[in-house]
Amino acid sequence: MIRRLNADGGATVKVDVGPGHCDGPEYSPDGKWLYLNTESFSTEPGHAQLARIQADGSGFEQLLKSKTVDWFPHLSPDGQYASYIQFPSGTVGHPADLPVDVVLVSTQDWTTSLQTWPLFGGQGTLNVNSWSPDSAHFAFVAYPLTDSIKD
């Protein structure tokens, strides 16, 4: 369940996204959609997938079906691109210290990655929208692996 709240306050509005765990909701740049990750499309515990729902609560849909555990879809300000993080299949939640992929897609085709960056990371790698205002760049965090002998 997601709840919306007007920026100037007031009552919250429930947005039903099914029975599974959901996380990371954010509005599309035009304000028409909420993008999120949810377990509502899977019977496998922890198997989060990317989805969107219209802000009025209609049109709930899965954006792609994958074997990976996909979290935190973030749209560019112009709405043309999105970034998200892929955890290995079987991951429950979004833990730290895992090999993950940061993925860039066109919002016209979520099933085909434009670029993928494999890295060591997880929790904190791409939790929040980090697109530049001109939609030309986005930031993410990789965890450095240190050599304890050198450090």
pLDDT tens string 65-99 = 999 999 999 999 999 999 999 999 999 989 999 99
Cα 5 to Cα 9: distance, rounded to the nearest angstrom: 6
pTM score over 0.85: yes
Class of domain 2-121: mainly beta
Q: What secondary structure letter does DSSP report for 135?
A: S
Phi, then psi, of 70 in degrees rounded to 5: -110, 130
Distance CA 12, CA 58 (A): 17
